Amino acid sequence: MATIKDVAKKAGVSISVVSKTYNNYVDVSEETRQRIFAVAKELDYTPNIVAKNLSSKKQMTLGLISSGVLNDNEKDNNAFDIFKGVYREISETRFELSINLIDSQKQKQQSYVQYCRERNIGGAILQGIRTDDQYYKELLNTNIPCVVLDIMNETENGLIGSVSIDNALASKEMALYLLERNHRNLAVVSGTKETYVNKERMKGLEEALHAHGMKLDDVDFLDADFSEEAAYELSKMYLQKTQPTAFFCFSDLMAFGVIKAIKEAGLRIPEDISVTGFDDLIFSSYTQPPLTTIKQDFVEIGKVAARLLQDIKENNLERQHIWVKHQLMARESVKTLPSV
């Protein structure tokens, strides 16, 4: 394998000039730069990014750590859209991007700090992390700049930023959308209780119910752990006992499971039962009927997170949370009932 010394020798320059070329120093002429690149290509030389970062004054690699993505439903493109947003933003800068796909078990095998130090990562974006995960507990006590997605940073660590939509407000808007269409017999299909987004969506639901003189006790809950299959099985059993006027699902994936159960029960959407989701996955506008849901712009969330991480790293910003806009997508899966 060719080394930087081999490239320097064949190009007729010093090792420091080759290093300056790959670090984009302005005092290397374009002619010399192109000669070095041509020799590097001929020798099949690739610079060691980690070594380059270690030798530089600043850490030039940012990390995207995504938990649970390998186990995600194939219909769920959220993590990939976030990756696209992060990559598009960082590719316009001088930073490199390191991606680590993990799960809860891997978090126990290699610590967050260890992962960042081994790769000389100067800051990281964490996606899919729960507040009870090992990585989240670690990052609260580290000095590595970090941005978490779908978690509100309420700690004193000023190096941690956070990005999400306003989940409570979005959930409240969707609940009000149903209540204003005279749905009172609601079944709520909720996600994983430990997650920040589930708690926020529950909070928004409660506010909407309160505005209409109702309480959480007035609706039925199916805890489906953000799983399409679990939502299908739970709603299938639920429909054997009772029939709500609407299912309010805390994710589109769970809504897909509910839609399947409703149709298998010989019922129609929205004539017999209305259904709403949350996320606006790519398949949501193609269900029959198209699903009413909350749209999250996951590409934009990724971009905003990447910009915030760079701001925290380079400007030592104080702790902050950035809200990304959401949109209620009113489609054909909700029926307006007669006034009670």
Domains in the chain with CATH codes: 4-47 (1.10.260.40), 61-165+298-324 (3.40.50.2300), 167-296 (3.40.50.2300)
Looking at residue 28, what is its pLDDT? 83
Looking at residue 126, what is its pLDDT? 92
Question: Rounded to the nearest 5°, which phi and psi values hold at 292?
Answer: -75, 125
Looking at residue 319, what is its pLDDT? 66
- What is the per-residue pLDDT across 64-116, written as a single tens digit (0 to 9) for each? 988 877 666 677 888 899 999 999 999 888 888 988 887 766 666 667 777 78
Looking at residue 129, what is its pLDDT? 82
- Name the residue type at position 64: L
339 pLDDT band (50/70/90 cuts)?
confident
Residue 57 pLDDT more than 50? no
- What is the per-residue pLDDT across 148-204, written as a single tens digit (0 to 9) for each? 999 886 666 667 899 999 999 999 999 999 999 999 999 999 999 988 999 999 999
- What is the per-residue pLDDT across 313-337, written as a single tens digit (0 to 9) for each? 887 666 689 999 999 999 999 999 9
Looking at residue 111, what is its pLDDT? 75
- Name the residue type at position 76: D
Chain centre to alpha carbon of residue 35: 42
- Contacts of 100 by beta carbon, 8 Å cutoff, 6+ apart: 63, 64, 65, 66, 115
Peptide bond into 289 cis (omega under 30): yes
Question: Which one is predicted more confidently, 207 or 61?
Answer: 207
Mean pLDDT of the chain: 88
Q: Is the pTM of this model over 0.85?
A: no
The region of weakest confidence among 19-23, 78-82, 230-234, 335-339 is 19-23
* Partner residues linked to 96 by β-bridges: 61
